[in-house]
A and B are shown apart, each in its own frame.
Chain A
């Protein structure tokens, strides 16, 4: 009989796919706001700004629910980057650069995944704060502390670039390195 292993719980899968939709929309609308091109009436800046704002609030909700879920269930232990992962990360890089035949053995996620997911956690919080500041200026300068909005705008852009660089990497690696994990992200199960 074929044995199956349950590696992605339902909440995890829901978090993943809802974030996928939101982050995709955020990236597209965000870079469109930064570099508007003429797409006719199909997609204009007012639509992009609306999508960006709406998706940002939804994604923030998803993010904080995700954080709560990981705290309560202890699943953050699978994701956070630990110092001892640094050595594994070296081995993983060697594997990615074809200097090793096999990657280091790992738990649920490998060292590279842990590094990227942990960075996403911090970068998202950064984008959340800078995004809120940028949203607040819709109501005039209502902040109680002096902030140069132009700088905030620039750092928000840099934060988004981190996602622009790592999200394609994430997709590429899951497709080529471990498609079974992608399957598990739909069904929850992998075959043993």
Chain B
């Protein structure tokens, strides 16, 4: 039997050529010999079905092995032959029969507006609408494990993106129990099958702060990107299609945590965005797609007084305003003769030195000392500017008051 440690090692070391590797299958089959196959409910809510179709492309184990040898897929909107009352009946029956036993795989967001009427999985026998919200609240509490598959189910993704007309939320917002997030747009089959395998064999995998399995979502793309050398040496693509680092055209690799560079896209058709000379768009990130857009700029846009502007423009704006302000002031200073006065005045010994003026603008007539002549420095000011070994503790206690009325001279 494969130990958990060996499994993690295999899953992490898995390269494109090996996939989740066929060595897993016998172990998986072995673990369930003579036992009932674990029941799985795959609930598709507000989704494009991309995640299910992606998982259907799994190679090792392939979908046939998965369905016939490994799991008992009881309900799936896309895969099942039944429809209408028959299908909904199966869902209800499975939830009751396999209570506390089944693994719930949720795909897509849960729309909340209009009582959840933006998304439905079907109808009740009485003809009333069976909403996504109702379905997830019906299935989730009795599930053994809940997996949110795809970025929508995990973090909201495109369906919850601005302006989110349906009020969509990710699964963990409407479910009380722990949700294991397996994001991706679409999700990579290995991440789903690997997490599912871990659940079946060893229970809940080690998760990060976003409840993503660390085994797949632990490392940053940037750190094992095959084009990292281009990044370090400043070889940048200026347009998609160039075989260089895509950082300057908005690659989100530096902020995206997933194993795409070695996992690559399904099986024999090996490639992934960067290898296809387009930037990573950070589809497994919690703020995808709003936070990750624009896809071709590496910092997000910003809303300034109702105008959408890029971070670059803000930067250039700040630089321009500073330069223009200083330039104008300098010109005005020269024109009014102030510059000459201050330059000469600034280095000339000042007769009045100590007390220059009263506080005219604040109407506060108390005099503040500008400079203290060396000979007259004593007491607190002496200690302030001349830190002596002995006085430190005492001074600290004297001066501890922060925003109260400090002991002024």
Contacts and interface: CB of A to CB of B under 8 A. Distances in A.
Interface of A: 2-7, 9, 11, 31, 34-36, 38-39, 44-46, 69, 71-77, 80, 84, 87-88, 90-92, 94, 96, 98, 102, 104-108, 137-138, 140-141, 143-151, 153-154, 157-158, 161, 164-165, 168-169, 172, 176-181, 183, 190-192
Contact of A164 (B315, B338, B350, B406): B315
A107 B368 contact: yes
Contact of A73 (B217, B292, B338, B399): B399
Contact of B234 (A3, A45, A137, A153): A45
The 10 closest A-B pairs by CB, nearest first: A91-B361, A74-B399, A87-B362, A46-B232, A105-B357, A5-B371, A149-B255, A192-B353, A148-B287, A179-B346
B231 A45 contact: yes
B257 interface: yes
A144 B329 contact: no
B380 A104 contact: no
B82 interface: no
Contacts of B236: 36, 38
Nearest to B287: A148
Contacts, number: 209
Interface residues of B, number: 88
B4 interface: no
Interface in B315-334: 315, 318-319, 321-323, 325-326, 329-330, 332-333
Interface in B289-305: 291-292, 298-300, 302
Interface of B: 208-210, 214, 217-220, 223, 231-234, 236, 247-248, 252, 254-255, 257, 282, 285-287, 291-292, 298-300, 302, 311-312, 314-315, 318-319, 321-323, 325-326, 329-330, 332-333, 336, 338-339, 342-343, 346-347, 349-350, 353-354, 356-364, 368-374, 377, 380, 383-387, 392, 395-396, 398-399, 402-403, 406, 408
Nearest to B228: A46
A143 B247 contact: no
